[in-house]
Amino acid sequence: MLNVAVIGAGLMGRNLARVAATAGANVAIFDSFPNALDASLKDLGQAGLKVRGSGDLAEAVRGADFVIEAIIENIEAKQAIFEQLSKILPDAILASNTSVLPITQIAARAHNSERVVGTHWWNPPHLVPVVEVIRAKNTSDATMDKTVAILKSLGKTPVRVEKDIPGFVGNRLQHALWREAIALIADGVCDAETVDLMVRNTLGLKLGMMGPIENADYVGLDLTLAIHEAVLHDLNRDQHPSPLLKKLVAEGKLGAKTGSGFYEWPAGEREAAAARLSEHVTQQMESPKPKRGLKSAK
């Protein structure tokens, strides 16, 4: 049986534990904050899952084959955890769930850093199938291969990211879209509702079935080239966050968590949005997907 340890009992950590336990792994979860640990164990227990919890790191990871770190996005904190883990577990694979921090830097203080790998799970991790597997500077082929195999055994769809670049693959694609979306609003082209209406009801309808590269092939690379020649020079290419985004943050308008951002968020709307998103992702995953059989051109 696979032994999995999750470091961090926040919302992401508890759902990572949920994935592993549901797949039949022997799971332990660690958090230095008792309230967070107790809340996670209660939630997982109510779901009928057996997960062992501990506030002692060495006890929590005892016997682990695969460790997933899901603590705060702070490079020093992650480096300290990986340094400790690498001493406690001389053979286990040590994975970080960071969404943007360089895996190579996270592994800088770890012993045998060839065992350190990035595994970027998308939220909610128990619903979204894809997990990015990121190769750090010293990550070995064996670690990459074993991580892919473990994630498959947990029912996920691992994708290999062979270079440790900021944002990996998914967040680079996502925030390229967000940069242009915010720029359109800031430039007075349209309002936030129009941006979201367009995305949900045009390319959003297609992306679940046909990704951007397949779609470029499908419509014709000659047409794609013509559109790029006409449009790319005018797209936003700022190397810094939008002044509009900075202004909203400076004013304390952080979105759903504060009740106002690009939209107004009345009480209860954030929870309602989370429920809608969960229902939508679940429906999408239950819908049959065609088997394409396409292979990348050489």
| 112 counts as catalytic | no
Contacts of residue 293, defined as CB under 8 A and 6 or more positions apart, other chains included, come to: none
Catalytic residue among 15, 86, 96, 99: 99
**Of 24, 149, 29, which Cα lies nearest the Cα of 93?**
149
| 99 counts as catalytic | yes
Concatenate the DSSP letters of all residues of the chain into one string: --EEEEE--SHHHHHHHHHHHHTT-EEEEE-SSHHHHHHHHHHHHHTT--EEEESSHHHHTTT-SEEEE---S-HHHHHHHHHHHHHH-SSSEEEE--SSS-HHHHTTT-TTGGGEEEEEEPSSTTT--EEEEE--TT--HHHHHHHHHHHHHTT-EEEEE-S--TTTTHHHHHHHHHHHHHHHHHTTSS-HHHHHHHHHHTHHHHHTTS-HHHHHHHH-HHHHHHHHHHHGGGS---SS--HHHHHHHHTT--BTTTTBSSSB--TTHHHHHHHHHHHHHHHHHHS-----------
**Of 56, 54, 66, which Cα lies nearest the Cα of 16?**
66
| 86 counts as catalytic | no
Residue 96 near residue 67, CB atoms below 8 Å: no
Catalytic residue among 171, 215, 236, 260: 171
Catalytic residue among 40, 86, 96, 132: 132
| 120 counts as catalytic | yes
Catalytic residue among 15, 97, 120, 242: 120
Catalogue the active-site residues: 99, 120, 132, 171
